């Protein structure tokens, strides 16, 4: 099958990133701030310095974990029609942005902190948009107990969305992870059903360079035991938390993912693991990650190549203009970089609805990003290249200087070979500005009013509410 792809590394460069990553893990190792995980790694063959909290991972340990990691992962959902599997064959699955701390009020257009009601609305919009495959818990609910934020967010998303869900990292370690998996088990009818088709996955971030915090890595180990897909997102910021060079940042991304997979496979047999990166250089003028950097799609492409080398599913691409106001008020160059990021070969990407370098999110931006993605992803259409499609017999039949317009081969193939642009949504792209935002707001209000998410069973709702409330009480009470 012919599919457009962006490649960044040649074979020798890919081999070098691989060999230097192995050398890094065996010589430098990773810091793991958990006695239980260090003990587990030692049992798996790592050399552990408990005083320094450093585990050094020999090549054979890394290779064994890569061999055990599943090469295909099922992404379950409340609705069977939204079941997905990675790796994908064509364009990546789209997820919303995650964890934004402010939104643009749909009523008055003013910026304000996000609430649990906002998370419900973002989840419903994600459910309604055809181009969105996965609902990340898009905003941070500032009005719920923050110690139980992960569980609260998962429950709100499940109630308001029937697609696969990405959740926030667990802030209270294994106990938090167990509560989330028990909640999801209620929804799907038990642990066995959840293992077979997990309706959520967890994004677990290492702390670059080469560090795993206690609560998050212990939660990751627990998720691995339950068969919940772990998306190990390296956030390597070139010049800040990784070397400023492209090669140095790619090595850090790769080493962190390889180490994280060792932890997952040591925790649960054939634990579903997703190689992930959301990495970019630091903006040297502001000190923040530069999502509009020229390097971003190239780092994504390099990371995707390394993941495919190991046969691991990926989330290494992002989507969106990252402007402060809803719209696409970027430059042509920035827009090209955003589009280029979709050609990396990633199986998933995130970012629909994002504003201001992922600090904010807007409902109407989800709608705009979704419609733009419906257009852009057509460039990643799968084309068959075989004798029937080459059509030499048709060329012979038509003859020199004649037209193919009326030949049956044209009639059979033109729709599949030539997707058409949506005229209405094309008009939204006429300017790189905020001019389409008002229309998007009107459409967003109509979607929120007219789109109804299938309700959970009444008993499941009651038991889920009880589980969340009991966990909140236990967390607030403390040990």
Domain-wise residue ranges, the chain: 67-380, 387-417
Pick from 65, 427, 450, 105: which is nearest to 260 by CA? 65
CB atoms within 10 A of CB 400: 6
Tell me the two tokens of residue 289: 């990650």
Query: Could you tell me where the beta strands, DSSP code E, fall in 15-60?
Result: 30-32, 47-49, 54-56
Measured distance CA(128)–CA(367) in Å, rounded: 9
Residue 88 CB coordination number (10 Å): 18
Contact in structure between 302 and 333 (CB atoms under 8 Å): no
Just give the CATH number of 67-380: 3.20.20.480
**CA separation for the pair 457, 468 (Å, rounded):** 16
What's residue 479's pLDDT?
Answer: 61
The pTM of the whole model exceeds 0.85: yes
Alpha-carbon gap, residue 233 to 206, rounded angstroms: 7
Cα separation, 323 vs 331, in Å, equals: 11
Cis peptide before 145 (omega within 30 of 0): no
DSSP label at 230? E
The answer to whether the bond into 209 is cis (omega within 30° of 0) is: yes
> Under a CB-based contact definition with an 8 Å cutoff, are residues 380 and 348 in contact?
no
Cα 363 to the chain's mean position, in Å? Answer: 19
* DSSP β-bridge partners for residue 275: 232, 314
Q: Which residues pair with 112 in a beta bridge?
A: 103
Confidence (pLDDT) at 395: 96
Segment 155-211, tens digit of pLDDT: 999 999 999 999 987 778 999 999 999 999 999 999 999 999 999 999 999 999 999
From the CB of residue 241, how many other CB atoms can be counted at a distance below 10 Å?
20
Residue 307 has φ and ψ, to the nearest 5°, of -65, -40
Name the residue with tokens 């889920």: 464
- Mean of pLDDT values over 314-334: 91
For the cut 80, the answer to whether the pLDDT of residue 290 exceeds it is: yes
Please, which residues bridge with residue 233 across strands? Answer: 205, 276
Contact by Cβ (8 Å): 103, 362: yes
Residue 425 has pLDDT above 90, yes or no: no
The per-residue pLDDT for 1 is 67
Confidence at 260, pLDDT banded by 50, 70, 90: very high
Name the more confident of 333 and 85.
Answer: 85
């Amino acid at each position: 099958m012919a599919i457009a792809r962006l490649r960044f590394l040649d074979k020798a460069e890919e081999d070098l990133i691989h060999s230097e990553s192995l050398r890094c893990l065996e010589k430098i190792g990773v810091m793991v701030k958990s006695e239980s995980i260090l003990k587990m790694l030692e049992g798996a063959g790592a050399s552990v310095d408990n005083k320094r909290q450093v585990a050094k991972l020999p090549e054979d340990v890394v290779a064994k974990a890569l061999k055990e990691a599943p090469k295909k992962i099922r992404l379950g959902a409340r609705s069977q029609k939204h079941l997905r599997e990675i790796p994908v064959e064509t364009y990546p699955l789209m997820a919303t942005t995650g964890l934004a701390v402010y939104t643009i009020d749909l009523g008055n257009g003013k910026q304000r902190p996000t609430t649990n009601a906002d998370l419900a609305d973002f989840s419903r919009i994600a459910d309604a948009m055809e181009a969105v495959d996965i609902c990340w818990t898009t905003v941070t609910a500032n009005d719920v107990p923050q110690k139980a934020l992960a569980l609260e967010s998962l429950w709100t998303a499940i109630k308001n969305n029937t697609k696969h869900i990405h959740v926030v990292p667990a802030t209270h370690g294994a106990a938090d992870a167990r509560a989330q998996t028990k909640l999801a088990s209620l929804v799907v009818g038990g642990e066995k059903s959840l293992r077979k088709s997990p309706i959520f996955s967890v994004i677990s971030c290492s702390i670059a360079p080469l560090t795993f915090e206690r609560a998050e890595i212990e939660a990751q180990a627990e998720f691995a035991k339950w068969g919940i897909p772990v998306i190990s997102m390296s956030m390597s910021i070139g010049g800040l938390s990784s070397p400023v060079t492209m090669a140095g940042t790619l090595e850090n991304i790769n080493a962190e993912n390889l180490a994280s997979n060792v932890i997952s496979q040591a925790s649960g047999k054939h634990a579903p693991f997703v190689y992930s990166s959301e990495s970019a250089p630091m903006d040297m003028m502001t000190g923040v990650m530069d999502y509009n950097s020229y390097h971003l799609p190239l780092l994504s492409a390099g990371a995707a190549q390394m993941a495919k080398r190991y046969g691991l599913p990926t989330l290494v691409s992002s989507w969106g203009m990252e402007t402060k106001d809803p719209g696409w008020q970027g430059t042509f160059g920035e827009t090209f970089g955003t589009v280029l990021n979709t050609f990396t070969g990633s199986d998933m990407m995130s970012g629909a609805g994002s504003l201001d370098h992922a600090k904010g999110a807007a409902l109407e931006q989800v709608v705009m990003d979704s419609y733009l993605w419906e257009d852009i992803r057509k460039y990643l259409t799968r084309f068959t290249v075989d004798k029937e499609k080459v059509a030499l017999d048709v060329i012979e039949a038509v003859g020199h200087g004649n037209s193919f317009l009326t030949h049956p081969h044209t009639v059979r193939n033109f729709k599949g070979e030539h997707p058409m642009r949506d005229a209405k949504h094309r008009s939204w792209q006429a300017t790189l500005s905020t001019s389409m935002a008002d229309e998007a707001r009107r459409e967003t209000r109509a979607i929120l009013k007219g789109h109804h998410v299938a309700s959970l069973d009444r008993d499941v709702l009651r038991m889920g509410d009880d589980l969340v409330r009991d966990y909140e009480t236990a967390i607030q009470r403390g040990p």
